[in-house]
């Protein structure tokens, strides 16, 4: 099943054996800050924004961060390629006990999809997963820091100077900050929508 182009899709899945209601504390999996990990996000600003957004949601649910003795671990990644993920979509006005509420579907998701996973600390198994597709794009995780800053050729003709003045007047630094702010807003929105489907809170 594939959403329409540009359509937002948020879905979750959880282990039938998970006791999510018994958890009180969390920390990040070690690969979140491991540069050698396949899931490591090299864009530090984006990485920090995701962690802060997830922490904010978990804090609001009453969970505390405890790196020494956590009940569960948190992992996340941004998909760099189109792929398929399984999840249960939101079904408005439907009781959690209905069969349709537990229907697991396979979705085609695009690069830029944010995936958040919760793992049991003792078992090391994924107990809950949520993903948001269509909110972020592949451009959001391609670092453009200082891209092209020193690549413009020098020119002596008036046309070249006018072109350079146009670029200066556009204030490229301001534009980059605006793009970054917009990206961070989309990250926070993606995380918020994922945790809107999380039906638990710290005991």
DSSP 31-49: GGG-TTSTT----HHHHHH
Which structural domain range is residue 65 located in? 9-144+180-195
Residue 144: the pLDDT is: 41
Domain of 137: which CATH number?
3.30.160
Phi–psi pair at 11, nearest 5 degrees: -145, 160
**Consecutive H or E run containing 103:** none
Cα–Cα dist 136/185, whole Å: 10
Report the pLDDT averaged over residues 19-29. Answer: 91
In a domain, 150, yes or no: no
- Give the residue with greater pLDDT, 178 vs 139: 139
Query: In this prediction, what percent of the chain has a pLDDT beyond 90?
Result: 36
| pTM, 2 dp | 0.73
Cα–Cα dist 195/13, whole Å: 12
Residue 33: the pLDDT is: 74
**What Cα–Cα distance (Å) separates residue 106 from each residue in 11, 12, 83, 85?**
10, 11, 10, 6
In a domain, 31, yes or no: yes
Cα–Cα dist 111/139, whole Å: 9
CA-closest candidate to residue 117, choices 79, 81, 73, 152: 73
In a domain, 203, yes or no: no
Cα–Cα dist 172/55, whole Å: 32
Residue 194: the pLDDT is: 94
Report the pLDDT averaged over residues 97-125. Answer: 81
Average of per-residue pLDDT values in the chain: 75
pLDDT digits (tens, 9 = 90+) for 6-18: 468 898 998 887 7
In a domain, 152, yes or no: no
**Residue count (the chain):** 203
- Give the residue with greater pLDDT, 152 vs 53: 53
Q: Total structural domains in the chain?
A: 1
Q: Say yes or no to pLDDT of 151 above 70.
A: no
Q: Say yes or no to pLDDT of 3 above 70.
A: no
**Pair 91, 106: CB distance under 8 Å:** no
pLDDT digits (tens, 9 = 90+) for 35-94: 777 777 888 888 899 999 999 999 999 999 999 999 999 999 998 889 999 888 754 333
Residues 6 or more apart whose CB falls under 8 angstroms from that of 65 comprise 25, 26, 27, 55, 58, 59
In a domain, 133, yes or no: yes
In a domain, 14, yes or no: yes
In a domain, 44, yes or no: yes
- Give the residue with greater pLDDT, 126 vs 35: 126
In a domain, 116, yes or no: yes
Q: Say yes or no to pLDDT of 106 above 80.
A: yes
Cα–Cα dist 4/9, whole Å: 10
Cα–Cα dist 192/8, whole Å: 13
Cα–Cα dist 112/78, whole Å: 6
């Amino acid at each position: 099943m594939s959403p329409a182009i540009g359509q937002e899709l948020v879905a979750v899945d959880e282990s039938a054996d998970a006791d999510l209601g018994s958890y009180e504390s969390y920390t990040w999996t070690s690969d979140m800050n491991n540069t050698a990990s396949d899931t490591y996000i090299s864009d530090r600003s984006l990485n920090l924004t995701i962690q802060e957004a997830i922490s904010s949601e978990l804090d609001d649910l009453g969970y505390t961060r405890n790196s020494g003795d956590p009940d569960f671990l948190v992992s996340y990644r941004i998909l760099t390629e189109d792929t398929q993920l399984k999840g249960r979509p939101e079904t408005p006005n439907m009781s959690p006990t209905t069969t349709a509420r537990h229907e697991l579907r396979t979705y085609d998701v695009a690069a830029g999809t944010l995936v958040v996973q919760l793992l049991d600390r003792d078992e090391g198994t994924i107990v809950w997963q949520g993903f948001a597709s269509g909110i972020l794009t592949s451009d959001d995780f391609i670092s453009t820091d200082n891209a092209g800053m020193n690549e413009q050729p020098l020119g002596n003709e008036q046309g070249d100077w006018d072109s350079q003045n146009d670029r200066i007047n556009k204030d490229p630094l301001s534009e980059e900050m605006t793009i970054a702010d917009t990206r961070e807003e989309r990250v926070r929105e993606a995380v918020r929508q994922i945790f809107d489907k999380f039906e638990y809170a710290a005991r």
